[in-house]
Amino acid sequence: MENQKMPKTEKEWERKLKPEEYAVLRQGGTEAPFSGEYVYTKDKGMYRCRACGNEIFSSETKFESGTGWPSFYDAIPGAVKLQEDKSLGMVRTEILCAKCGSHLGHVFDDGPQPTGKRYCINCVSLNLEKSAQE
Ligand SMILES: [Zn+2]
């Protein structure tokens, strides 16, 4: 993915991504809880944006939230943009990839220390790049 050009139009994104990825990343959808591949993953590595490869979360900040979505208490500095999301009759804070603008999930204020944040993320928005085994 690193050598490909970043899509510029939604049509190009639609061609590049699988339908379930496009629905979440480009249309702000949410995958069903407990359905994703990284909900219980404890492997060490770097979680990257599935759309553009941007480094988003280190596995060091992943925690078990019991929500059915992979959860992190902090993002890589500068990796995400936050914006208010008033869809579904709620006010939530949406998490977007700072590089490509794709939807990743939402952030809540009930996470563990040291940040108190819970970044609740769709598995289809991420790719785990496992670190090399020691
Ligand atoms: Zn991205």
CA proximity to 95, closest of 105, 87, 86: 105
Q: Say which residue, 3 or 5, is predicted with more confidence.
A: 5
Specify the number of domains making up the chain.
1
Q: Alpha carbon of 78 to those of 18, 35, 65: distances in Å?
A: 26, 28, 24
Peptide bond into 7 cis (omega under 30): no
pLDDT of residue 91 exceeding 80: yes
Q: What is the mean pLDDT of the chain?
A: 95
Q: Binning pLDDT at 50, 70 and 90, where does residue 19 land?
A: very high
Rounded CA-CA distance 87/89 in Å is 5
**132 pLDDT tier (thresholds 50, 70, 90):** confident
Is 3 within a domain? no
Q: What is the pTM of this model?
A: 0.93
pLDDT exceeds 90 at position 3 = no
The arithmetic mean of pLDDT across residues 106-127, rounded, is 98
User: 82: CA distance to ligand 1 center in Å?
Assistant: 13
Range of the domain at 46: 10-130
Residue 95 maps to a domain: yes
Reply yes or no on whether 120 is catalytic.
Answer: yes
Give 97 Cα–ligand 1 centroid separation in angstroms. Answer: 5
Q: What is the pLDDT of residue 4?
A: 61
- Considering the domain boundaries, does residue 121 fall inside one? yes
CATH number of the domain encompassing residue 47: 2.170.150.20
Domain assignment present for 71: yes
Please give the distance, rounded to the nearest whole angstrom, from the Cα atom of residue 93 to the centre of ligand 1: 17
Classify residue 28: in a domain, yes or no.
yes
pLDDT computed for residue 25 by the predictor: 98
Alpha-carbon span 75 to 57, nearest angstrom: 5
Q: Find the catalytic residue in 52, 97, 120, 123.
A: 120
Query: Could you tell me if 7 and 16 are in contact, meaning their C-beta atoms sit under 8 angstroms apart?
Result: yes
pLDDT tens-digit map of 51-83: 999 999 999 999 999 999 999 999 999 999 999
Cα-to-centroid distance, 90 and ligand 1 (Å):
25
Distance (Å, rounded) from C-alpha 16 to C-alpha 86?
A: 28
Mean pLDDT computed over 10-15: 97
- Ligand 1 centroid to 48 CA: how many Å? 8
pLDDT at 5 (0 to 100) = 79
